[in-house]
Structure 1
Amino acid sequence: MSQKTEIARRRTFGIVAHPDAGKTTLTEKLLLFGGAIQVAGAVKSNKIKKTTTSDFMEIERQRGISVATSVMAFDYADKKINILDTPGHKDFAEDTYRTLTAVDSVIVVIDVAKGVEEQTEKLVEVCRMRRTPVIVFVNKLDRPGKEAFDLIDEIEQKLHLNARPLSWPIGMGDRFQGVYNLFEEKLVLFRPDNKQGRPEEVIEFNDLADPQLDSLVGEDAAEELRGEVEMINEVYPDFARQDYLDGEISPVFFGSAVNNFGVKELLDCFVQIAPPPRPRPAEERQVEPNEDQFSGFVFKIHANMDPRHRDRIAFLRICSGTFERNTNYLHVRQGRKLKFANPTSFMAAKKEVVDEAFAGDVVGLYDSGNFKIGDTLTEGEELHFKGVPSFSPEQFRRVINGDPLKSKQLAKGIDQLMDEGVAQLFTRTVDNAQIIGTVGALQFDVIQYRLEHEYGAKVIYEPINLHKALWVTSEDPAAMRAFLERRRQHVGVDKSGRNVYLAESAWTLQMAKDNHPEIEFHSTSEL
């Protein structure tokens, strides 16, 4: 196939949700339908010993949550599907925000009983800012939950999305009988024992007035469905693919991922309407996917995906052209050429070497310490892709070495984990104290666990009284020198050597701002 044809086949999307909405379970079932796996695993179950494909880290298996973005690829309906399953827990939101820079569309999973939750609102806000097309999947329809129209109202009010149902539930909880697929005008009947993806009972139904509907679902449920579908067609806008691609309308599907129900309808619609690779903004210009010249950026780094080999993988989103194995590419930040003998494609922790990959694909590059998040690779052009953020942490601990004999291991472990972006390291200028800042407290546990199990190092955390860490800049070098001197007790540098103000309280931060008007304080820093 030609490069243009290959790029047009790509569908790269992220799955985002609040914890426990069923996001990772949905990922498993999409892989099952795509033929990428034979048996779906369980996120956390006493009965099912197989864990999910996307939760491959030991700590993820123990806690039953995702703590890192995982990448999976498979073919379906002549399309190459790249799924990025993200952490739902707010403590790992920074990994999710960065992942959203590498996708072309998003599927948002909502629990039918809990509705729209806080973390979902934050993630969808990022999608809206980027005008990323969004599909909503309302999950767990086999359980009691909120009424479908109430959920649609909640999606519109809390997520500020213009919803358009493309499937509609027939009953809910114990009364749940299936969904009517408005997109394809089909009735899909629910089988509660269908865990492993046997074909659903699908009936072509372009006329809901047909009396056969009454015999299939009962008179009351049939009459209710007719009335609700009529209301949907009157109240909600007609679905147009271009409106979805422009971020103006968001299709809504209903189903039960754990029972494999409604997932195929979602996937079939997705491959028809989801966008192929989209243009990417760089500081220098807009980069189009069909350009001949290769370009891409690193949005994630993961150390020790295989603990036996102590490997470190940089995840590269290809933005344009074709990436080829054993070809020299320019590392823009370092200004030197690099060649990759074993670029890999992913099925979570399983990897296979690829000879070429196209715009829209995510490839893994074995990294000996050359990459940082946000780095760009090109065929020679100096490009700097925009929008890979680093956020001001909200929780802080001072790092103390728990085993003086393992100082090198600790230093290497912290260095590599910080490069992954799991947290940020600040070195206080006045005493060289090392301070780790995170978005959430759970990240400290993950760092401590990984340092011990992957690097053989022990870390002890010491509480430290800090309110915020903000990057500081100024167009006046003299003003910056005066600020750093006067506030030397409260300044430090991040891992890249950029100046940071370590504010002990909201009051001291406001005082610093008032007394140093020439200094700009930043809560985010694009890497």
Structure 2
Amino acid sequence: MHTLNIGILAHVDAGKTSLTERLLFDSGAIDRLGSVDAGDTRTDDGEIERRRGITIRSAVAAFTAGDAQINLIDTPGHSDFIAEVERALEVLDGAVLLLSAVEGVQAQTRVLMRTLRRLRLPTLVFVNKIDRAGARDEDLLDDIRRRLTPYAVPLTRVTDIGTPDARVLAHPLDEEAAGTLAEVDTAVLAALVDGPAPTGQDLRAALAAHTADGTVHPVFFGSALGGQGVTDLVEGLVRLIPRPGARGPGEPREGTVFAVRPGAGGERRVYLRLHEGEVTNRQSLTFLRRESDGRTVEVAARVTGLGVVGRPGDGTLTPGNIAELRGLAAVRVGDRLGQATEHTPQFAAPTLEALVHARHPAQAAPLRSALLALADQDPLLHARPAANGGTALLLYGEVQKEVLAATLVEDFGIEADFAPSRVRFLERPTGSGEAVEEMPWHERTRHWATIGLRVEPGPRGSGGVFTYETELGALPRAFHQAIEDTVHATLLGGPHGREVTDYRVTLIRSGFCAPISTAGDFRGLTPLVLRRALERAGTRVYEPYHAFEAELPLDALAPVTAQLASYGAEFRETTGGRTGWLITGDLPARRVRDVELRLPGLTHGEGVWWSRPSGDRALR
């Protein structure tokens, strides 16, 4: 039996969790359908997920179909938890992109499909809720081809759509499908032009080949709640998603940690997708972690419990499968067996920052420990010390903040107060600058230490990197650590009052006087030298931007574009004109909330707005 790891992706409320429940129920993996409304679904097992009716953490459930075991990875739909989706993408063999036949193509759906196409991940499209009033089929297919992928091939069709009597029938590969396949397959094109016409077998082979390479996207209609069309979707997964290649259990181990979740008694559960080799219980493993400065760190751990997803009692994790591992307290999301690789984020980093304080002062230290534990589960949840005993957090949105507050109470017993979120500006060095302060001690520095530092720009996304040109061992280890820690702490506030990022600081000179010098001398002198070097290097402030999409009624184009322009928007594309307009562009993140408040009035409540972080730009 081979294994397929399939992700279910969609905008919020499209029915991902309901589809997961239906797939598990129809296959016999569970004996009762769970309900999002009732809060008894299998994958949303957290109390907060059940209460809110949304998926927050990627979850894994398995069922069998023929000779295949399918591991379903149910991912969040809310844009505040896009980091969870990113983690899941790294371990998938294929995906199901879910749409609602009523709401149609949403802005979040477009973002997900663009990412899936960029990764060339085999993806099937499932149009859900065909039995709901307002459901569409042909018009929605046109929207899919226009806004998601031009190479959509329907494999099922619907009768009585939009009614409780909606039924799904097979849709043959007809001339329209042949024309779509001809755009990406030269053999089909030649057969259509020169003859003889391609056979059904030719079209099925072309469909399978170009689904596998991520070019063509088969479309299935159905209802997760009613069960219509779900069997066709499963058959499509088994037939069209290629089996993952693996050299076998005798090869060196390679795998990826894509989720970490708390377990009973506080024990962490680590989810590992294995690509090569094998892992057994009680085995000692070495994970590799790529740090922001390019260093590779080894994390040693010993497995104290192993459960292969979908295979109870199997104590050996083999290639292509996922296991829940216990005993790996130091392992984090993104750690790898075999080799550490550079991770290219598929989604932009968060742009909001919020300060959090423990409501009760005695819980200040436990709060920081809890936030660090949560950061192990989500590497994009950055937490750092702030003034007055608080902690600064990077966030995607207000819903994420609300969920964090509830998690702190329910999982850690800590009540926390969050300050209003603010947009996070950054500074980056613009050039290179050096500064040196020499011993002996004198009135100006009052420190028995010699420190020379060079500041220069680092690659985009590298964060802060500290390196040495001095000979290692020339200073006691405690002095070296004091300099490095102080460098990073000092650069949390640059000359313009913003956090400095993407920098490279190099220690170019050092010295001490034994036994007089202490680590405190180096902690005290480092900020003085660093600020002087940074001033000589120069910095520039960068403002975060959001990519936006706005769907507008016909008569709202002029007032909305005028308002967006006044907020500093840069327009990329304006399309439509028959029934409405779609505007895309980029907008300073600090203006997003203003637009959200003004848009209903400018569009008589008919406008639809969506935005997401899209990097930053230098302030003019």
Q: Place the TM-score, normalised by the shorter chain, in its bin.
A: 0.7 to 0.9
**Equivalent position of 1:365 in the other structure:** 325
Q: CA deviation at 1:358?
A: 2.0
- 3-state DSSP class of the match of 1:36? coil
Q: Are 1:173 and 2:165 matched, yes or no?
A: no
Distance 1:320 1:368, change over 3 A: closer
Q: Match for 2:287 among 327, 331, 335?
A: 331
Q: Match for 2:23 among 1, 14, 30?
A: 30
Residue correspondence of structure 1 range 222-371 to structure 2 within 5 A? 232-233=176-177, 235-237=179-181, 238-239=203-204, 240-277=207-244, 292-302=251-261, 304-306=262-264, 309-333=265-289, 334-335=297-298, 337-346=300-309, 354-367=314-327, 369-371=329-331
Distance 1:370 1:408, change over 3 A: same
Residue correspondence of structure 1 range 73-92 to structure 2 within 5 A? 73-92=62-81
Measure, in 2, the Cα distance between the counterparts of 1:323 and 1:128.
32
Residue correspondence of structure 1 range 2-13 to structure 2 within 5 A? 9-13=2-6
Distance 1:164 1:51, change over 3 A: same
Residue correspondence of structure 1 range 82-161 to structure 2 within 5 A? 82-161=71-150
Measure, in 2, the Cα distance between the counterparts of 1:77 and 1:256.
22
Q: Are 1:479 and 2:439 matched, yes or no?
A: no
Measure, in 2, the Cα distance between the counterparts of 1:502 and 1:406.
38
Measure, in 1, the Cα distance between the counterparts of 2:359 and 2:40.
33
Q: CA deviation at 1:369?
A: 3.5
Contact 1:293 1:321 in 2 (8 A): yes
**Equivalent position of 2:529 in the other structure:** none
**Equivalent position of 2:558 in the other structure:** none
- 3-state DSSP class of the match of 1:259? coil
Matched pairs, number = 433
Measure, in 1, the Cα distance between the counterparts of 2:455 and 2:271.
40
Q: Are 1:400 and 2:357 matched, yes or no?
A: yes
Distance 1:30 1:356, change over 3 A: same
- TM-score between both structures, scaled by the size of structure 2: 0.63
Residue correspondence of structure 1 range 485-496 to structure 2 within 5 A? 486-487=494-495, 489-491=497-499
Amino acid at match of 1:250: H
**Equivalent position of 1:193 in the other structure:** none
Q: CA deviation at 1:431?
A: 7.9
Contact 2:302 2:328 in 1 (8 A): no
Measure, in 1, the Cα distance between the counterparts of 2:359 and 2:25.
44
Q: CA deviation at 1:451?
A: 0.6
Contact 1:423 1:436 in 2 (8 A): no
Residue correspondence of structure 1 range 409-420 to structure 2 within 5 A? 409-420=366-377
Distance 1:146 1:468, change over 3 A: farther
Measure, in 2, the Cα distance between the counterparts of 1:423 and 1:335.
20
Contact 1:320 1:359 in 2 (8 A): yes
Contact 1:470 1:523 in 2 (8 A): no
Distance 1:502 1:475, change over 3 A: closer
Measure, in 2, the Cα distance between the counterparts of 1:363 and 1:415.
24
Kindly report the root-mean-square deviation, in angstroms, between the aligned alpha carbons of the 2 structures. 3.4
- 3-state DSSP class of the match of 1:370? coil
Measure, in 2, the Cα distance between the counterparts of 1:175 and 1:235.
33
Where in structure 1 are there 5+ consecutive unaligned residues? 1-5, 184-228, 280-287, 511-521
More displaced stretch, 158-167 vs 461-470: 461-470
Q: Give CA deviations for 1:153-178 in whole Å, capped at 9, x if unaligned.
A: 21122112510111111231238442
Amino acid at match of 1:323: V
Q: CA deviation at 1:97?
A: 1.7
**Equivalent position of 1:514 in the other structure:** none
More displaced stretch, 335-344 vs 67-76: 335-344
- 3-state DSSP class of the match of 1:257? coil
Measure, in 2, the Cα distance between the counterparts of 1:502 and 1:299.
35
Q: Match for 2:336 among 358, 376, 379?
A: 376
Distance 1:503 1:392, change over 3 A: farther
Q: CA deviation at 1:502?
A: 11
Measure, in 2, the Cα distance between the counterparts of 1:88 and 1:157.
22
- 3-state DSSP class of the match of 1:292? coil
Measure, in 2, the Cα distance between the counterparts of 1:355 and 1:129.
36
Contact 1:101 1:388 in 2 (8 A): no
**Greater RCO, 1 or 2 (C-alpha within 8 Å, sep 6+):** 1
**Equivalent position of 1:439 in the other structure:** 396
Distance 1:175 1:258, change over 3 A: closer
Distance 1:178 1:454, change over 3 A: same
Identical amino acids, percent of aligned pairs: 26
Amino acid at match of 1:338: A
- 3-state DSSP class of the match of 1:478? strand
Contact 1:325 1:341 in 2 (8 A): yes
Distance 1:17 1:325, change over 3 A: same
Contact 1:426 1:492 in 2 (8 A): no
Contact 2:281 2:316 in 1 (8 A): yes
Q: CA deviation at 1:87?
A: 0.7
